Amino acid sequence: MERIGIIGAGRAGSALGAALASAGYPVTGLTARSRASAERAARLLPGVPVLPPDEVTRRADVVLVAVPDDLIGSVAAGLPLTTDQYVVHLSGAHGLSVFGDVVAVPVALHPPMTFTGGRAELDGVVFTATAPEQARAFVERLVKDLGAGVQWVAEAERARYHAGVVHAANHLTTLLAQAFAVLREAGVDDPAATLRPLLTATLDNTLRSGHDALTGPIARGDVDTVAAHLAVLRDRTASTYAELARATVDLAAADGRLDDGVVRRFKQLLAEQGTGDEEPAHGQASGRAAQSRAVPDTAERELVLERDLTGEAPR
């Protein structure tokens, strides 16, 4: 089996290195710039030496560049790579062009999962790969040895792929932060516990059945309920709800669940919904705006999570 060298023993690099070692690939060296990285590597990859980047590269057949996105190109360019080596990065956003003119065979291999600093459970994970033809057999074998699957994405489609991953995973967190804030304003002490059974079932059903899993007032054609929701929501949450409701109406209509009259009523209602960010004119504050002043915003409304390869995926 190919010898593995790891440039960057962060959460992802260490976890994948440990998984490769468990699959029988010899890990011959790694870099660790911080004490935390060195301690993590010692725990997950005992006996693997911490070495300078050049030495890690010379000892390896496969050089895993597990560094933040904005460092991939410069780090790879500084390594003494050869034409008989593979150089692999783990970014979702980048394809092969980030490697520039490196002479090694380039591979982009993104695991759409979260790394916690411990061992990674890769069963059922589908890695997204971009690689030249001569690397495909190697990539498929390596991923199979990890107990995972592989999905090939063209170089030109990497940005579209990554947008889909981020839209699904990162924006879900933002959406739930808004929903949690609304529930707390309604007097719900533990929004997560309240929503967990519904969210778990919805996610499972959607992953299994796609948009056939859609339920709720729009799927039922219940315009009045959606109008009642818009009457009590405010600011960015109101505009987010309205925009997602528009997309949901289109989805339900395309599936034939809504007749034309109901679709028109939904679209008329949602067209009346502004961005949610406007301030009412002096002396003309609506009931919703007055309610907005009565209840302070919560930190969850503006929650933004940035996950990177040194911490959490997807990126």
The answer on pLDDT for 280 being more than 70 is: no
Over residues 3-33, the pLDDT tens digits come to 999 999 999 999 999 999 999 999 999 999 9
**151 CB-near residues (< 8 Å, 6+ apart):** 126, 127, 128, 129
Report residue 182 as tokens: 């609304």
Within the chain, strands assigned E span 4-7, 27-30, 62-65, 86-89, 105-110, 126-130, 149-152
As a whole-number percent, the residues of the chain with pLDDT over 90 amount to 83
Alpha-carbon span 227 to 268, nearest angstrom: 11
Tokens describing residue 203: 């996610």
Distance CA 41, CA 7 (A): 12
Structure confidence at residue 273 as a pLDDT band (50, 70, 90): confident
Query: 250-259: per-residue pLDDT in tens?
Result: 999 999 999 9
Candidates 70, 216, 92; CA nearest to 153 is: 92
Mean pLDDT score, 122-146: 97
- Segment 178-187 shows an average pLDDT of 98
Tokens 């600093």, residue located: 117
More confident residue, 86 or 121: 86
- Which residue ranges form the domains of the chain, and what is each CATH number? 4-157 (3.40.50.720), 160-302 (no CATH)
Task: Answer whether residue 43 shows pLDDT above 80.
Answer: yes
Q: Which of 26-35, 134-143, 283-292 has the lowest mean pLDDT?
A: 283-292
Average pLDDT, the chain: 89
- Yes or no: say if 273 and 242 are a contact pair by the CB < 8 Å rule: yes
pLDDT value at position 56?
Answer: 99
Q: pLDDT tens digit string along 47-96?
A: 999 999 999 999 999 999 999 999 999 999 999 999 999 999 999 999 99
Q: Note whether 50 and 38 are within 8 A (CB).
A: yes
Q: What is the DSSP letter of 98?
A: G
What contacts 245, CB < 8 A, 6 or more positions away?
Answer: 218, 226, 266, 270
How high is the pLDDT of residue 241? 98
Q: Which token pair is 313?
A: 């995926």
Q: 80 vs 279, which has greater pLDDT? A: 80
Each residue's pLDDT tens digit, 232-256: 999 999 999 999 999 999 999 999 9
Which pairing describes strands 27-30 and 149-152: parallel, antiparallel, or unpaired? Answer: unpaired
Of 17-21, 40-44, 217-221, 273-277, the range with the lowest mean pLDDT is 273-277
The C-alpha R_g of the chain, in whole angstroms, comes to 24
Contact (CB, 8 A) for 105 and 132: yes
